């Protein structure tokens, strides 16, 4: 073993050298001269006297000699552990092998000093040392490696990882609460399943952002600063994240000098591009250039360096900038999560045929509908046939909106869906839309000489007409109509997984959100025309008020239509384009208002104009807009797919 400090007291012939062999004059001590003479005489290893003379008096006592004998054995026991250092301290830790070896050698003196101080029997010291050596080796190894810069860095990294996890959990839980908490003023934005996907998407984005922030952090309160930074990040848009870099790029690349970019300017442009696009990657954005996606700086810079034409590079970078959304990270993730949830819901009930939604009329309790079991005849009188018919239609509408009837029909469908593991929430809006439309279809089944609603106009001197309808006939016709309509609606939705389903648009919520006046809301509810103006009304006022009202109704559909557009893009493998959506929404709105609003000129005495009025049907306006938008957006999707 290298660096032997205590040598060996056994000669080459195997003789064990004792204290008496050193103490030639038998005075009980070994002088320095006797010590050196004996080492030479017996051919022993040259061991410094100071390694044996523990009290420094230049001679060795019998007790010191016994300790020496034990230390020789301890050094022999230590040998395999010295060798073990070479295998335990490798790679980055090899730098600390020498420190470990030195610490092991120091163990002998430290152990001997403690052992003798405690007054223990020296004859057992080596054996006890050897028994404890494995444990002491591990303790020393752990101590040395614990204090290395690498170990300290690992502990800092582990602490930061734990802190990051804690902060992420807090931020994500807060984000989840925002979309799942229901208050008196608003419903939850999404259910728990959709919220789970939403939080998962946010977590993936925040993970990288948090790592970048921590790596460059130089402050004093990492937890608070990281939390504030992540919350700010969630409320920022993709474009907002690199707003300063975009501004720098635009200012650097503006001006006529960039109209024709030579080779030297191309290299400069590459530097500008790297600065901008690397900042985007640091903010967790995916950089798309020429149809390829980049998420790390190395591959991105390689792509930028491959450009030989500066004009092509500038066009690619500007296209990337234009593609950046203005929605916040949270808003964008919410939109995607809701769209994904809608896709999952679509898959869940796509296998259920529309005919399975049919209500069984024989199991309904009609006792809360007055006159049903007697098929009592309803009678209304009004101005002529049209006046009587309108009053009867209102009465039948009230009859069919019976809460008991509606709740029983709903319960049947809900039970059927639950048996298939599907929530009624998936089709609740469809149910409401179909129920309303089926009432309108039922009361439209009329005729003065036949049909559900019968009657006649005024006769003789009387200006009153008569309208009749039998109660049970109206209810039974309605249920049959409902079954037909809901089967059609469901089958249309399930006919394709790539088209835009509009059967489940929440019209009532949209009208409520629009803020239009009560008369407009009533016209929508009854599928009637809304008229404004008349005698003495100015054309400009009538037109402006009506068009603004119509715009409010259509604008209230924007959020629902955006989600449907995103879902359709996802289903067709097409990237959603905010600019395209906004343009098509605006164009369809303008066309629907132009075609749906009628301005009438009123004339008085001598044919002179004495006022204006406007008329439009809110329900027709909104459904026409949705149909037009769907047609145009479908055409755009198909064009993108073909490309």
Q: With pLDDT > 90 as the criterion, what percentage of the chain qualifies? A: 56
Question: For residue range 145-176, what is the model confidence (pLDDT) as tens digits?
Answer: 888 888 888 888 999 999 999 999 999 999 88
pLDDT digits (tens, 9 = 90+) for 427-470: 899 999 999 999 999 998 655 444 789 988 888 777 889 999 99
Tell me the percentage of the chain whose pLDDT exceeds 70. Answer: 97
Which of the two residues, 448 and 23, has the higher pLDDT score?
A: 23
Q: 532 - beta bridge partners?
A: 614
Q: What is the per-residue pLDDT across 498-523, written as a single tens digit (0 to 9) for each?
A: 888 888 888 988 899 999 999 999 99
Q: What is the pLDDT of residues 292-302, one digit of tens each?
A: 999 999 999 99
How high is the mean pLDDT of the chain?
Answer: 89
For 133, what's the count of Cα atoms within 13 Å in the CB-facing half-sphere?
23
1 pLDDT band, cuts 50/70/90, is: very low
Band the pLDDT of 425: cuts 50, 70, 90. confident
pTM over 0.85: no
Beta-carbon count within 10 A of 20 CB: 11
Are the C-beta atoms of 168 and 230 separated by less than 8 Å?
Answer: yes
Quick count: other Cβ atoms within 10 Å of Cβ 439? 22
Q: What are the sequence ranges of the domains in the chain?
A: 19-147, 150-237, 239-324, 351-495, 500-643
What integer pLDDT is reported at residue 146 of this predicted model?
Answer: 86
Judge whether residue 208 has pLDDT over 50: yes
Mean pLDDT value across residues 312-336 = 88
DSSP letters, 139-191, are HHHHHHHHTSHHHHHHHHHHHHHHHHHHHHHHHHHHHHHHHH---SS---SS-
Window from 4-13, 44-53, 171-180 with minimum mean pLDDT: 4-13
Q: What pLDDT score does 47 carry? A: 87
Give the pLDDT mean for 251-258.
85
What pLDDT band is residue 346 in, cutting at 50, 70 and 90?
low
Query: 348-387 pLDDT, tens per residue?
Result: 778 889 999 999 999 999 999 999 999 999 999 999 888 9
- Model confidence pLDDT, tens digit, residues 586-622: 999 999 999 999 998 888 777 777 888 999 999 999 9
Q: Is 134 helix (H, G, I), strand (E, B) or coil?
A: helix
User: What does the pLDDT read at residue 449?
Assistant: 44
Q: Per-residue b/e over 589-598, b at no fewer than 16 CB within 10 Å?
A: beebbeebbe
Task: Give the separation between CA 389 and CA 613, rounded to whole angstroms.
Answer: 26
The answer to whether residues 509 and 621 touch, using CB atoms and an 8 Å cutoff, is no
Of 525-529, 561-565, 629-633, give the lowest mean pLDDT range.
Answer: 525-529
Q: Judge whether residue 53 has pLDDT over 50.
A: yes
């Amino acid at each position: 073993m290298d660096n032997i400090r205590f040598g060996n007291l056994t000669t080459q012939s195997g003789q064990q050298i004792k204290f008496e062999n050193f103490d030639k004059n038998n005075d009980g001590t070994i002088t320095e001269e006797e010590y050196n003479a004996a080492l030479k005489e017996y051919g022993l290893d040259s061991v410094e006297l100071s390694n044996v003379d523990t009290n420094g008096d230049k001679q060795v006592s019998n007790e010191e000699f016994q300790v020496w004998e034990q230390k020789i054995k301890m050094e022999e026991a230590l040998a395999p552990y010295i060798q073990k250092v070479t295998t335990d301290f490798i790679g980055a830790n090899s730098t600390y092998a020498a420190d470990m070896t030195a610490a092991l050698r120091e163990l002998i003196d430290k152990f001997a000093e403690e052992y003798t101080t405690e007054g223990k029997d020296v004859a057992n010291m080596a054996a006890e040392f050897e028994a404890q050596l494995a444990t002491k080796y591990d303790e020393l190894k752990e101590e040395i490696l614990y204090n290395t810069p690498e170990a300290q860095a690992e502990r800092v990294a582990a602490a930061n990882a734990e802190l990051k996890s804690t902060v992420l959990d807090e931020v994500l839980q807060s984000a989840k609460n925002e979309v799942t908490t229901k208050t008196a003023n608003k419903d939850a934005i999404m259910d728990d399943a959709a919220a789970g996907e939403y939080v998962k998407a946010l977590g993936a984005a925040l993970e990288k952002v948090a790592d970048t922030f921590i790596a460059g952090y130089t402050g004093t309160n990492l937890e608070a600063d990281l939390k504030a930074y992540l919350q700010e990040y969630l409320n920022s848009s993709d474009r907002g994240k690199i707003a300063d870099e975009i501004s720098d790029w635009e200012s650097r690349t503006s001006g006529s000098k960039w109209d024709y970019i030579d080779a030297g300017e191309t290299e400069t442009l590459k530097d500008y591009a790297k600065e901008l696009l690397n900042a985007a990657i640091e903010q967790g954005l995916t950089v798309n250039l020429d149809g390829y996606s980049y998420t790390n700086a190395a591959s991105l810079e390689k792509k930028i360096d491959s450009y030989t034409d500066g004009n092509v590079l500038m066009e690619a970078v500007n296209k990337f900038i234009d593609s950046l959304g203005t929605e916040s990270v949270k808003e964008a993730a919410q939109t995607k999560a809701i769209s994904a949830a809608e896709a999952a819901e679509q898959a869940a009930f796509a296998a259920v045929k529309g005919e399975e939604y049919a209500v069984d009329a024989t199991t309904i309790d009609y006792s809360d509908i007055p006159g049903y079991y007697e098929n009592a005849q309803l009678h209304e009188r009004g101005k002529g046939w049209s006046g009587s018919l309108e009053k009867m239609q209102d009465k039948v509408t009230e009859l069919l909106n019976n809460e008991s009837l509606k709740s029983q029909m709903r319960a049947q469908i809900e039970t059927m869906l639950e048996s298939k593991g599907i929530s009624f929430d998936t089709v609740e809006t469809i149910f409401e839309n179909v129920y309303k439309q089926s009432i309108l279809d039922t009361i439209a089944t009329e005729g003065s000489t036949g049909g559900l609603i019968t009657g006649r106009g005024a006769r003789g001197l009387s200006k009153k007409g008569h309208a009749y309808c039998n109660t049970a006939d109206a209810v039974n016709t309605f249920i049959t109509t409902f079954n037909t309509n809901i089967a059609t609606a469901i089958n249309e939705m399930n006919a394709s997984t790539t088209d835009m389903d509009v059967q489940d648009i929440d019209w009532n919520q949209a009208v409520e959100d629009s803020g239009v006046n009560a008369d407009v809301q009533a016209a929508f509810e009854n599928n009637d025309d809304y008229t404004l103006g008349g005698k003495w009304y100015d054309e400009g006022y009538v037109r402006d008020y009506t068009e603004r009202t119509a715009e409010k109704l259509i604008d209230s559909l924007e959020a629902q239509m955006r989600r449907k557009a995103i879902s359709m893009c996802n289903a067709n493998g097409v990237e959603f384009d905010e600019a395209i959506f906004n343009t098509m929404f605006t164009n369809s709105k303008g066309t629907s208002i132009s075609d749906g609003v009628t301005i009438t000129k009123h004339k008085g005495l001598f044919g002179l104009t004495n006022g204006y009025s406007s008329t439009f049907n809110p329900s027709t306006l909104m459904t026409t807009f949705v149909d037009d938008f769907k047609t145009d957006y479908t055409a755009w999707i198909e064009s993108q797919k073909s490309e």
